[in-house]
Every structure is written in C-alpha cells, then in structure tokens.
Amino acid sequence: MDHNPWEADQEPKQYLSGAAPAPNPRKSASVWDIQYRRILQVWPWMIPSGLLFLAVAWFYLRYQDDIFSVNSSIVIQDQSALQAANYFGSKDPINDNIARLKSPTLMKRVVDTMGLQYQAVVHGTIKSRNMYGDVKWKVLNRTPGTSAGLSFEVEDKGETGFKWKSGNQTGTATWGNPFMIGKDQVVLSKKVSGIPDKFICYEIDRWNEAFSLVTTISLSGSKISNVVEMKMELVHPQKGVDVLNT
C-alpha cells in the first residue's frame, strides 16, 4: 500500500507502524467510585448539620421583629410656587417642604406632642416587646432642676390599680390618676385589657427619639404635583400611622 509522505506526517505513529491504537482507560468509573466513597465518609455529618442550620434559621425568624410599612400623603398648599416652577422649569418647590418634613426639629415637635419619650416595655425570655398602644404614661409636673430619665417597674393589680417601684421607692396608684415618684408627678393609664402583669416604664431623650424616627421615614414628591408621599417602616404600624398623622 502506497503512503503519501505528507499524509504520513499527520497520522499517528501507531497507524504508520501498522499497530492498532491502544484503548483509552475509562477514568469516569474510578472518579465516580472515589466520589461515592467520599460521600459515604461525610454523610453522617450532613444530616446533623442540616438539622442544625434549620434550627438556627427557625430561631432567627421566630424572634426577629417584623417590620411594617405605613404610607400616607400630604398636599402642599403652595400653588404659586408650583406655577412658577412649571413656567421656568428650574426649581422644584416641593424639595424645600420635603426637607422641612424630614427635619429632626419637626420630628422633635411630633415627639413632644405625642409624648413618645415616655415608653413602656415588657421583658421576655429572649427579647423585649414595646407596649406602645397598651399603656400610656407621662410626667405631668417636674420640679425645676430635676433631670429627665425617670424609670420605674409596674406590677398590674387588676382594674383597681398597680404597684410601682423606682429604685428604693415603692408605692401603689390607680390607673389614670396622678401619683408622685420622688419629686415628679406621674400618671399611668391602661389603654387595653389583658396587659402583662409586670413591665417597665422609662423615659428617653427626646432628640434621640426624634433622630430615630427620622431614619425610618422616606418622602418623595414630583415637580409637577403638590402631593408628597410619606412612608415609614416601624415595628409598630399604629405608631407609624400616629406619627404621620401628627
């Protein structure tokens, strides 16, 4: 048989010598065999690890606070500014009003109006729960020179009243009637029935509460409309509704 020397250079040597090509070893079988042995070695750890991760995820979701979104809108009564903006097309008059609505100074006025610096919380085994809407309290009269930051423990005694403790001071009072804690005149009201037997009332800084609320509010407006959309994301949706309305 004649061979073309140019074709001979392109053929494998085993063809030129007349030998049959050697079969390629099947590596896939050995690879699968190795992977199978590896799986058998680690499978006792896979099931406990999966159960552990499921338990951690359940625990996280069980005690994670739900965040609610509250939406509202407000109309800016400034038609002359809107008409000027539409005519010149260079300035958005709504931006100034949005800046005012989102300012900590205005939010502090909301805090003072609603008394949001006076809070109540019940401590649980894992986490605490804010009692907004369940009880309401505030300082009616404070002696000049006395600093803020009052806190006291409350033990519900039913419809007749409650027992309170602040530091070394203890006493009893009735719901909705003023009582004295040191030099501060305080009133505590029960808004709903079935409140926890024990909880804590405490006072926080008004500016801190104002800045905290500012971070949860978002405002958006349009240059061609005088409506500003407001949205708050809070743990307590009713608190967000009350803040936006105020």
Find, among 232, 220, 215, the residue nearest to 92 by Cα.
Answer: 220
Q: CB-based contacts of 217: which residues, under 8 Å, 6+ apart?
A: 102, 107, 230, 231, 232, 243
The helix (run of H) or strand (run of E) holding residue 185 is strand 184-190
Q: According to the per-residue pLDDT averaged within each range, which of 53-57, 201-205, 218-222 is highest?
A: 201-205
108, containing H or E segment: helix 104-114
What pLDDT does 33 receive?
59
In angstroms, rounded to a whole number, what is the distance separating the alpha carbons of residues 130 and 173? 22
As a whole-number percent, the residues of the chain with pLDDT over 90 amount to 36
How big is the CA angle at 190 (ends 240 and 63), to the nearest 5 degrees? 55
**pLDDT band for position 236 (cuts 50, 70, 90):** confident
Angle at 119 between CA 212 and CA 239, to 5 degrees: 60
- pLDDT surpasses 90 at 42: no
Q: How many CB atoms lie within 10 A of CB 181?
A: 19
Q: Scanning the structure block, which residue is given the tokens 């539409």?
A: 86
The residue assigned the tokens 């625990």 is 59
Structure tokens at 227: 């409506």
pLDDT band at 34 (very low <50, low <70, confident <90, very high): low
d(CA 188, CA 2): 113
pLDDT of residue 21: 57
68 exposure class (CB count in 10 Å sphere: 0-12, 13-18, 19+): middle
CA 220, distance to chain mean position in Å, is 21
> What is the C-alpha to C-alpha distance for residues 106 and 14, in angstroms, rounded to an integer?
91
Tokens representing residue 91 in the block: 């300035």
pTM summary value: 0.69
Binning pLDDT at 50, 70 and 90, where does residue 87 land?
very low
pLDDT digits 0-9 by tens, 93-139: 677 778 888 889 999 999 999 999 999 999 877 778 889 989 999 99
51: burial class by Cβ within 10 Å (0-12, 13-18, 19+)?
A: exposed
Residue 97's pLDDT is 77
Going by pLDDT thresholds of 50, 70 and 90, the confidence category of residue 189 is: very high
> How far is residue 236's CA from residue 142's CA, in Å, rounded to a whole number?
29
Task: Please tell me the predicted confidence (pLDDT) of residue 145.
Answer: 73
Check whether 52 has a pLDDT greater than 90: no
